[in-house]
Structure 1
Amino acid sequence: MVKFFRSGNPLTVLLLLLYTLLVKFFYLLHPSTYVADGSEGLLYDLLVNWLQMLVGKSPLFFTTMAIMMLFLQTLLLTRIINHHRLFSRSTYLPAMSYLLFTSLWQGWNVFSPALLVNLIMLWVLASTTELYTRTSARDVVFNIGFALGIAGLFYFPAIVFCVLLLISLLIMRPFRLAEWIIALLGLFCPLYLLGTYLFLTDHVALLRKIPRIGVSMPIVHDYKVWGALIGSLFFFILGWLLLQRPLKKMLIQTRKTWAVQIVYVIVAILVPFFSVHFSPDYWVLAILPISMFVGNVYWTITNETVANIIHFITLGYVIVMQYFS
């Protein structure tokens, strides 16, 4: 099966859709509504309330929305990876990996602020790859900061991704203080615009719902969470190790882009700890960049038999955790 996703043939999208139904079918059979644990942002609350006005609290609708968003994210991720040639040839392996590894834990398939933030982070990912080639990147860093500011209005701890932006500037470009200041201005601009709108419409009280942030050091007892986390981190480390040899043959821009992805994974793992109420559901933020390294594992293993064995072991674990645990 892996060899079909190794190809960059556009018709692979149809196979990817069938694969989505395979690994997500359990969640469609047992749908959930949406995440609402007190850590969500103001825009997320408004969006959920609007959707409830349309369809009510339909678990099937919200789960279908979540799975459609995951599928859309795989397509966007594939386009970014292939456009910037992060692999030597076009491939759908990271897309397959994202669908597979988000299936490790049910909370990663529920409509949540994290899924909306992942959509924004895909645009951020595409923009950061342009930093190296731009003579002047002030417009790009402002737009990235602005996007992260909007992400913070859906899930306020996503503001922590500003660390990723600043480190990306260090990796991709020589230090320019003006660009850092412009990035921070872009970060606070959505909050300023929203605050101005709420003030003019006499809804200032809603501003209290925006800064939902804290520091949590939870103890996770669910073995499914540990299984999903350990499996994801194992493949991330393995993918990073297997990347070392081909990395030397890549262009400087590509090497720097991969370095940014490592920082992306680390920051995304830390973001949920700044929630008011910690939830492992928000670790789906880290699965997005991790899937690139998982895809590299399958890409590097050229022996199709070995690659298929690894894939079917992972797929088998997913099915056992879904149906028989």
Structure 2
Amino acid sequence: MIRYFRSGNPLTVLLLLIYTIFLKFYYLLHPSTYLMGGSEGLLYTLLVNWLKALVGNSPLFFTTLAILLQFVQALLFNKIINYHRLFAKPNYLPAMTYLLFTSLLDNWSAFSPVLLVNLIMLWVFSSLTDLYSRTSVRDVVFNTGFAIGIAALLYFPAVVFLLLLLISLLIMRAFRLAEWIIGLMGLICPIYLLGTYLFLTDRWSMLYSIPNIGLANPFVNDYKVWGATVVCVLFLVAGWALLQRALKKMLIQGRKIWSVSLVFVLVALVVPFFSVKFNPAYWLVAVLPISMFGANVFWSIRNNTIANAVHILVLGYVLLMQYFT
């Protein structure tokens, strides 16, 4: 199967859709509603209330919506990677890997604030990849900060992604204090606009619910969480190790984008620790960039038999956790 996803044939999208239904079928059989972990933002709460008023508290609706969003995210993520030629040839391995990894844990396929944050972070990541080739990036930096601000209104600990923007500026460009300040202004802008709206509509008290942030104790005793974490970390380390030889043949921009991707992983791993209550489901924000390195593992294994064996091993683990535990 891996050889089909190695191909850049547009018809592979149909195979990817079938693959998604196969991976997520268990979650459609046992649907869940939505996640509320205590650090969800005001926009997320308003969105959930609006959806509940529209369709009711339907677990099947929220699960189906979450799976559709992940399928769209996989395609957009894949498009960004192929556009910047981060692999030698266009392929659909990043999309496949993202869908596979999000199936490792049941809450990673649920409707949650971080699922919506991932959609925004795709735009952020795409913007960060353009920093190197642009002469002036002030508009890009402001828009990226603004997008992170909106993400914070969905899930407030996402404000930590400001570090990703600042570190990416250091990687991609020479240090300019003005660009850092513009990024910070972009981050504050959505919160300021929302606060102004709440003040003018005499709902000022709702503004106090925005800064839902803390320092949670990351104690986890669920073996499923540990299993999903181990799989992701192994693929991250292996993907980065296998990338080293290919990096020498890449253009400077490609090498810098991979460096930004690694920073993306590290920042995303830290974000859930700033929740009011730690929830491993919110590590979904890290699954997106980790999928790049996981895809590189499948890409670097040139022997299709071995690549298929690795894929079947992970797929078997997913099915085991879904149906037999």
Task: Output the TM-score relative to the length of structure 1.
Answer: 1.00
* Map of 2:66 onto structure 1: 66
What is the aligned-residue RMSD (CA, Å)? Answer: 0.5
1:70 Cα offset (Å): 0.4
How big is each residue's C-alpha offset from its partner over 1:114-153, in whole Å with a ceiling of 9 and x where there is no partner? 0000000000010001000111100000000000000000
How far apart in 1 are the matches of 2:90 and 2:217?
Answer: 41
2:87 partner SS: coil
* Map of 2:118 onto structure 1: 118
1:37 Cα offset (Å): 2.1
- Give the aligned residue type for 1:271: V
* Map of 1:129 onto structure 2: 129
Long gaps (5+) in structure 1: none
Q: How does 1:80-91 map to 2 (within 5 A)?
A: 80-91=80-91
- Give the aligned residue type for 2:309: I
* Map of 1:140 onto structure 2: 140
Q: How does 1:154-165 map to 2 (within 5 A)?
A: 154-165=154-165
Preserved CA contact (<8 Å) 2:217 2:277: no
2:219 partner SS: coil
1:104 partner SS: coil
* Map of 1:268 onto structure 2: 268
Q: How does 1:198-237 map to 2 (within 5 A)?
A: 198-237=198-237
* Map of 2:94 onto structure 1: 94
Percent of matched pairs sharing the same residue? 67
* Map of 1:52 onto structure 2: 52
How far apart in 2 are the matches of 1:113 and 1:12?
Answer: 29
How far apart in 1 are the matches of 2:76 and 2:219?
Answer: 34
How far apart in 2 are the matches of 1:74 and 1:51?
Answer: 24
* Map of 1:320 onto structure 2: 320
How far apart in 2 are the matches of 1:140 and 1:219?
Answer: 38
* Map of 1:247 onto structure 2: 247
How far apart in 2 are the matches of 1:214 and 1:13?
Answer: 41
Q: How many residues align?
A: 325
2:102 partner SS: helix
How far apart in 2 are the matches of 1:111 and 1:143?
Answer: 26
How far apart in 2 are the matches of 1:227 and 1:238?
Answer: 17
- Give the aligned residue type for 2:193: L
1:77 Cα offset (Å): 0.4
1:36 Cα offset (Å): 1.1
How far apart in 2 are the matches of 1:37 and 1:311?
Answer: 32
1:246 Cα offset (Å): 0.5
How big is each residue's C-alpha offset from its partner over 1:265-293, in whole Å with a ceiling of 9 and x where there is no partner? 01101100000011000001000000000
- Give the aligned residue type for 1:246: A
How big is each residue's C-alpha offset from its partner over 1:174-228, in whole Å with a ceiling of 9 and x where there is no partner? 0011101000000100000000010001010100110000001221000000000
2:217 partner SS: coil
* Map of 1:179 onto structure 2: 179
How big is each residue's C-alpha offset from its partner over 1:89-109, in whole Å with a ceiling of 9 and x where there is no partner? 101001000000100000101
How far apart in 2 are the matches of 1:8 and 1:103?
Answer: 23
Long gaps (5+) in structure 2: none
How far apart in 1 are the matches of 2:32 and 2:277?
Answer: 19
Q: Structure 1 residue 305 and structure 2 residue 305: aligned? A: yes
Preserved CA contact (<8 Å) 2:142 2:185: yes
Name segments (4+ residues, structure 1) moved above 6 Å: none
How far apart in 1 are the matches of 2:36 and 2:218?
Answer: 18
Task: Output the TM-score relative to the length of structure 2.
Answer: 1.00
Preserved CA contact (<8 Å) 2:28 2:60: yes
How far apart in 1 are the matches of 2:150 and 2:170?
Answer: 23
1:236 Cα offset (Å): 0.5
- Give the aligned residue type for 1:83: Y
How far apart in 1 are the matches of 2:97 and 2:83?
Answer: 18
